[in-house]
Structure 1
Amino acid sequence: MPLPLHHLRAGIIGTGFIAPVHIEALKRLGVQVTAISGSTKGTQALAEQWGTPEVYGDYDYQSLINSPNVDVVHITSPNRVHVEQSLAALAAGKHVVCEKPLGMTTEETAKVVAAAAASDRVFAVNYLCRFYPAILQMRAMVQRGELGRIIHVQGHFFQDWLLKDTDYNWRVLSSEGGKLRAVGDIGTHWIDAVSFILGARAKSVFATLETFHKTRYRPTGEVQTFTSQSDPASMVPYEVDTEDFGSVLLKFGQADHGHVSGTHANCAISQVAAGWKCSLYVGIYGTKGSVQWEFQQPNEIQAGYRDQPNQVLTRNTAGFDKDVANFTDNPGGHAEGFPDGHKMHYRAVYEHIASGKSTPVLYATADDGHYEVKLCEAILRSSEKQTWVGV
């Protein structure tokens, strides 16, 4: 029986693309969204749209954190302020859901790990792909040994929203988003999903990163994620110090279930792949069979075998639903996707809070977020040295 979540109250820091995604998912769960903080204009507009009673403009996130009407703080602000806002929320005794990446450097994120460990609060990092039913199903198949010993993994995460040199967002600037852009922004979603499926972390990496647009053009003000500008005459040039695309090889360690050890993986990551809006593809290949999944077709798994017919497994139908019963709501044939992945993620986090931490921890923790930043730093060193680097 699902736990009632309507007595929990959320506050949202940030008003960009992902903030309304958090709000909508929370409201679908029955969670109260009681406060929003960000720019004065953006906060007011978002509060009016969603009927949020407490509004803290001028980036006054501390007032939101201090509000007695907020139990869980959702951090959807730019990367460079994630750590300070996470530490402030934990210090105020709030539970936290923080957008990825957890921070800009491991020196910073280690502070969050320590603060979260010292607190009795729940801390989650928003790697939502874990909560697609297909990802949970593939994870269960790997753990049960249905695919045999995992030989290798391959895939990609392709987008095209930064294809043109006039496409701009704060993520392009290393001072705002970190030294890794494509890998840090979307590549870590792929890596976290694969780590979750395998039940193991990457121990070493070999990476090549490239910046195609050495110079880009930006407007005089900020623009929302996934929006574009087209007239360079009304924009100013700037030198780009983050990558547009990259290739990453990974070698994974030992998993507790014994079906993964030294597994090799390769991933291509790009934000300049024309025609690909949000294509995260994963293929897991074992000695008994394989599974493949595509983010843009989230309700199906392609299962492959050497000596029997291949299969298409469909969400919430026979052979698919037994491992994901609490993470899918609609009958088979009634598609679930991106908004539902967020809803299921927050359901897992809020049920963990409401149950007094008695439910399984499937969400990414502060330690998982710290590991992803550590991995990004290893990828950056590998690209610079052109050699394998330990994580």
Structure 2
Amino acid sequence: MVGVNKKQVRIGMIGYKFMGKAHSHAYRDVPFYFDNKVEPVLQALCGRNEEGVKEAAEKMGWLSYETDWRKLIERADIDLIDIVTPNNAHTEIAIAAAEAGKHVYCEKPLAMTLEQSKRMLEAVEKNGVIHMINYNYRFAPAIQFAKKLIDTDRLGKIYHIRATYLQDWIMDPKFPLVWRLDKEVCGSGSHGDLAAHSIDLARFLVGEFKEVSGIMETFIKQRPIVESSSGLSGKASSDKMGDVNVDDASVFIARFENGAIGTFEATRFAGGNRNGNRFEINGEKGSIRWDGENMNNLQVYFHDDEPGLQGFRTINCTEEIHPYAGAYWPTAHIIGYEHTFINLMVELMDGIDKGYSPSPNFVDGVKNQAVLEAVEQSSRRKQWVSIETIMQSASSTSV
């Protein structure tokens, strides 16, 4: 039930599986934990399979459902379109939603290419709608606290970031050719799926990328054709094989505009790593470390600590002084992955209320896409690639 005297934002969400579940849960819990002036309403869920979307809508608390996203966008009772489809549908849906005057919240990466992402940004800006992209890891309290430490000069000048995002769920050669392994649907493999998160955190904490040099590799060249898939799992249809045309791993080095350097690795072939999203940042006055599998903790080191007591300390970022943490439980009663989505959507609702697009928005999505594309070009050309050059070379033809 919508709170008394609260403005409603009626959500129309397209897609309903892994990310659809995460987004739905977050919308429902925003008013439970936070006292926003704007409250999300789960108005309509959309999916191509009527039986599946109807069941999902009932389970997750949506008031209605559609099987055609175009009809969803046309509905007068929808204020915000939430896109949780595979990547190849992002551009068309986002542009249509913006042209219909709907606010747009989109899963990452923003698009298949930099050119597509620029068209999406043009559309939301031209039509004056609020826009955000789902880089949810920014909204872990430990990440937000790390940002405060950096912005208040506790680390001084930043020298290094080394970031890894390691998974292992497709190492079995018999794992089927799900959509995340099909370039026509996803655009890239571990690079766009995993490295995109590391790139966003680096931009958020360290600054803008200047140039990159990278390699990308596909270890398993063919896989069984998929019969059905859900989330990060799939079922093979037969012994028939199909070509894998995306990367299994990407590795790149980077220079930043502020002089920092970085190393980045994303792979789905790191055995024993289920969701190893990690980074370390080193500055002239101190360092920080974060591990997404232990997301409440931030490890901090300061050079000016007393000799003999120097070393990394572990800060459990669950006290009221830590961003967002005070909305949840008493100190050290930890929160989880799902709360990063809630915290992001609090900002989205506030942005709709006040008329601005909170970061990360489509501007961030375009800049992230430029780094992704630069690494891909570097891998093909075997040389450093400038982000500025990539941005200038990508056309931005309006629709």
| TM-score of the superposed pair, with normalisation by structure 2 | 0.88
Q: Among residues 357, 364, 367, which one is paired with 2:360 in the alignment?
A: 364
Write the letter of the residue equivalent to 2:54: Q
Please give the residue correspondences for 1:73-222 in structure 2 after superposition, counting only pairs within 5 Å.
Answer: 73-168=81-176, 169-178=178-187, 180-198=188-206, 200-219=207-226, 221-222=227-228
Write the letter of the residue equivalent to 1:51: G
What are the superposed Cα offsets for residues 186-235 of structure 1, whole Å, 9 maximum, x if unpaired?
A: 1110110111012x21111111111110111122x330122244xx7834
Q: Distance in 2 between matches of 1:84 and 1:107?
A: 13
Aligned to 2:316: 314
Q: Distance in 2 between matches of 1:5 and 1:326?
A: 23
Q: CA deviation at 1:108?
A: 1.5
What are the superposed Cα offsets for residues 297-336 of structure 1, whole Å, 9 maximum, x if unpaired?
A: 011111123452332111133xxx5351478522221111
Is 2:294 aligned against 1:284? no
Is 2:55 aligned against 1:45? yes
Is 2:385 aligned against 1:389? yes
1:292/1:263 CA distance change after superposition, 3 Å? same
Aligned to 2:392: none
Q: Distance in 1 between matches of 2:160 and 2:377?
A: 24
Aligned to 2:256: 252
Write the letter of the residue equivalent to 1:14: G
Aligned to 1:377: 373
Q: Distance in 2 between matches of 1:189 and 1:84?
A: 23
Residue pair 2:46, 2:69 contacting (<8 A) in 1 also: yes
Q: Distance in 1 between matches of 2:326 and 2:363?
A: 23
Residue pair 2:94, 2:120 contacting (<8 A) in 1 also: yes
Write the letter of the residue equivalent to 2:141: P
Q: Distance in 2 between matches of 1:328 and 1:344?
A: 10
Q: CA deviation at 1:146?
A: 0.3
Gaps of 5+ in 2: 32-39, 388-399
What are the superposed Cα offsets for residues 8-67 of structure 1, whole Å, 9 maximum, x if unpaired?
A: 21111012211111111001114210101112232112112123222112xx00111111
Residue pair 2:133, 2:365 contacting (<8 A) in 1 also: yes
Percent identity for Structure 1 against Structure 2: 26
Please give the residue correspondences for 1:305-344 in structure 2 after superposition, counting only pairs within 5 Å.
Answer: 305-308=302-305, 309=310, 310-317=312-319, 321-322=320-321, 324-325=323-324, 328-344=327-343
Residue pair 1:100, 1:126 contacting (<8 A) in 2 also: yes
Is 2:13 aligned against 1:12? yes
1:12/1:5 CA distance change after superposition, 3 Å? farther
Q: Distance in 2 between matches of 1:335 and 1:329?
A: 9
What are the superposed Cα offsets for residues 85-115 of structure 1, whole Å, 9 maximum, x if unpaired?
A: 0011111111110001111112211111111
- Equivalent residue of 2:318, what SS? coil
Q: CA deviation at 1:77?
A: 0.6
- Equivalent residue of 1:88, what SS? helix
My pick for the range that moved more, 369-378 or 151-160, is 369-378
Q: Among residues 260, 268, 271, which one is paired with 1:271 in the alignment?
A: 268
Aligned to 1:304: 301
My pick for the range that moved more, 163-172 or 280-289, is 163-172
What are the superposed Cα offsets for residues 100-156 of structure 1, whole Å, 9 maximum, x if unpaired?
A: 111111221111111111122110011111111111111111111101111111120
- Equivalent residue of 2:233, what SS? coil
Q: Among residues 236, 243, 246, which one is paired with 1:239 in the alignment?
A: 243
Q: Distance in 2 between matches of 1:4 and 1:181?
A: 45
What are the superposed Cα offsets for residues 247-299 of structure 1, whole Å, 9 maximum, x if unpaired?
A: 1111111xxxxxxx110010111112112111100101011110000001011
1:325/1:76 CA distance change after superposition, 3 Å? closer
Residue pair 1:142, 1:148 contacting (<8 A) in 2 also: yes
1:233/1:32 CA distance change after superposition, 3 Å? closer
Aligned residues: 370
Write the letter of the residue equivalent to 2:92: E
Q: Distance in 1 between matches of 2:120 and 2:92?
A: 9
- Equivalent residue of 2:148, what SS? helix
1:86/1:353 CA distance change after superposition, 3 Å? same
Residue pair 1:155, 1:267 contacting (<8 A) in 2 also: yes
Q: Distance in 2 between matches of 1:215 and 1:244?
A: 12
| TM-score of the superposed pair, with normalisation by structure 1 | 0.90
Gaps of 5+ in 1: 254-260
Residue pair 2:141, 2:323 contacting (<8 A) in 1 also: yes
